[in-house]
Chains A and B, each alone.
Chain A
């Protein structure tokens, strides 16, 4: 690529990010500093244009942030989201890594079919898939029926409307996001490395942890982020599969926005969520980037 073509490509990417990420974020940040009013829009303006007054008066309200930090409800919602998303990420990776490893070991002619199977659920609406899980995990759903029929349990397990229900839903919804990057990084590893490890006296399981896993680490970290970040802000799964006492920030946001019609507070919660998620990603991304460069 010539220097000019590269500049144009980078500028296009920046323009895209500025228009579709930065600008909406600034709008949300602006609303987060307003006060709620009954009207349309339901918040005050940041700049007050009084009777021909120049410059216009700046009206900044930090009260929304004060409320977020002051009220235990929001803190718990943030922590609850982080906790459930972290558990779901760990479970998704624990499933995705061995599954992707098995896929790379499958005969080459089967691999495209296995990949298609992994992303096939995306062809249905996520809402329908979550509803399907409500049916599966319900008190008289197939899971409880089978477990009771096998005599493993006497009474139906209460999975729905608990944290386990939410984690199941999150893991199911985001598993493909974990599977694909892990698979992509595993499939790039030269199979001769595993043979070399075995040749030098290393047993298969140890070789997986000493050779395969470290080499797949960038892909595994990327997979973790791809699951963790959307899972933190997830609204559908906690709303449909969680209990009334489950606190996740996505659900709290929704309530503030649509039920309480408190746009400024919802916006402030959003700004905090973005800051919470972006800062560790920036650090990790740096590490991944440096790693990639070192390998070239």
Chain B
């Protein structure tokens, strides 16, 4: 049985649809990410689970219990707010103990639990500080500790790392993973940052305009995007729009004006000739030189950008279509990157591309 189940959940605000019939199944103990551009409905979905909004339609079940009619203070769910929403007039310990006091736990038990979560988020010694005496990173930890203190069945995290700077964000991602593994709780994380979602989540739902565009493990979503939107939102994709020209031995040939020729791509399904389709290839799947590749194009390198672990290249085909390549920097001497203006051959294997029809 799924742990958190959403069935056809819909919510609109004054005629504007925020969540449009979402169904999701989230398993016990997983980290599940809701990912999408701003305005895609991911935060509204989280607020529906927390109980701050009431769904117009649909069912929300947690551990077999219908929680849709429950007010937020009766749900076994705790949320970490994007703004942290720490109580400014209470100390760190007071903030963390607040939820435990609502449950009327004995004082000794509350003290022990506060100490436990403070240790978990490595904030020992800061119990007596007020939120305004903390750094941004420390506040983020207090907010996390407060959401974990009640040992909720489900922890909701709304853009938990968005306010941190890049370095701190990367460190905190791994800490969050360690905390999750230690507590074996279920986390639902809302983020607009695809890297954050892929780092943290075991599975994720990519959302677009109030609907779920695709659900899957980060690798599945990245390597097998279900639509042009997902291919473009998760990572970068080079797209060859065209029509299906033929199919044999599991290879589909798409006649693409952008490529100036037919592009071969591996695809399991059957498609009738003439169907509009798109071949998507990730920048790191494109190779310089097309020896042994199913597809090859002549191109001119326009821009070269050194990015540390890889070099990004922008190359233009004779048709005017631009491609982005990501070339790994394997050698320190840097001999593997072309120069701007160089005439090159670009190739990729049919296995490394995806056929998209929606």
Which residues of A are interface residues toward B (Cβ below 8 A)? 190, 192-193, 195-203, 211, 214-215, 294-296
A199 B72 Cβ-Cβ under 8 A: yes
Residue numbers in A under 8 Å from B89 (CB-CB): 214-215
CA A102 – CA B319 in complex, angstroms? 64
Indicate whether B98 reaches chain A with its CB closer than 8 angstroms.
yes
Contact status of A215 and B88, CB under 8 A, knowing A199-B73, A200-B99, A200-B102: yes
List 12 additional A-B contacts (Cβ < 8 Å) besides A195-B52, A196-B86, A198-B51: A190-B83, A192-B83, A192-B85, A195-B72, A195-B85, A196-B81, A196-B85, A196-B87, A199-B50, A200-B73, A201-B150, A202-B102
Residue numbers in B under 8 Å from A190 (CB-CB): 83, 85
Partner of B87, one of A193, A198, A201, A296: A193
- Name, among A196, A200, A214, the residue most crowded by chain B CB atoms within 10 Å (CB to CB): A200
- Name, among A195, A211, A295, the residue most crowded by chain B CB atoms within 10 Å (CB to CB): A195
Contact status of A201 and B103, CB under 8 A, knowing A195-B52, A195-B72, A295-B132: yes
A204 to chain B, nearest CB (A): 8
- Name, among A190, A203, A214, the residue most crowded by chain B CB atoms within 10 Å (CB to CB): A190
CA A294 – CA B91 in complex, angstroms? 13
Residue numbers in A under 8 Å from B78 (CB-CB): 199-200
Partner of A202, one of B81, B83, B85, B98: B98
CA A195 – CA B84 in complex, angstroms? 11
Residue numbers in B under 8 Å from A203 (CB-CB): 73
Indicate whether B289 reaches chain A with its CB closer than 8 angstroms.
no
B73 A201 Cβ-Cβ under 8 A: yes
CA A199 – CA B50 in complex, angstroms? 7
- Name, among B78, B102, B150, the residue most crowded by chain A CB atoms within 10 Å (CB to CB): B102
CA A56 – CA B98 in complex, angstroms? 70
Closest B-chain residue to A195, C-beta based? B52
Which residues of B are interface residues toward A (Cβ below 8 A)? 50-52, 71-74, 77-79, 81, 83, 85-89, 98-99, 102-103, 130, 132, 146, 150
Residue numbers in A under 8 Å from B102 (CB-CB): 200-202
B263 to chain A, nearest CB (A): 50
Residue numbers in A under 8 Å from B81 (CB-CB): 192, 195-196
B98 A197 Cβ-Cβ under 8 A: yes
A199 B79 Cβ-Cβ under 8 A: yes
A60 to chain B, nearest CB (A): 50
Residue numbers in A under 8 Å from B99 (CB-CB): 200-202
Closest B-chain residue to A207, C-beta based? B73
CA A201 – CA B74 in complex, angstroms? 6
Residue numbers in A under 8 Å from B98 (CB-CB): 197, 200, 202
A-B contact pairs, 6 of them (CB 8 A): A195-B50, A200-B102, A202-B73, A211-B87, A294-B132, A295-B132
B317 to chain A, nearest CB (A): 50
Closest B-chain residue to A202, C-beta based? B102
B351 to chain A, nearest CB (A): 47
CA A55 – CA B103 in complex, angstroms? 78
Residue numbers in B under 8 Å from A296 (CB-CB): 132
CA A192 – CA B88 in complex, angstroms? 12
CA A295 – CA B99 in complex, angstroms? 23
Contact status of A198 and B73, CB under 8 A, knowing A190-B83, A295-B132, A296-B132: yes
Closest A-chain residue to B47, C-beta based? A195
Closest B-chain residue to A192, C-beta based? B85
CA A215 – CA B52 in complex, angstroms? 22
CA A196 – CA B130 in complex, angstroms? 17
CA A202 – CA B74 in complex, angstroms? 9
Residue numbers in B under 8 Å from A295 (CB-CB): 88, 132
CA A169 – CA B83 in complex, angstroms? 44
Closest A-chain residue to B50, C-beta based? A199
Residue numbers in B under 8 Å from A214 (CB-CB): 89
CA A201 – CA B78 in complex, angstroms? 9
Residue numbers in A under 8 Å from B150 (CB-CB): 200-201
Residue numbers in B under 8 Å from A192 (CB-CB): 81, 83, 85
A200 B146 Cβ-Cβ under 8 A: yes
B152 to chain A, nearest CB (A): 9
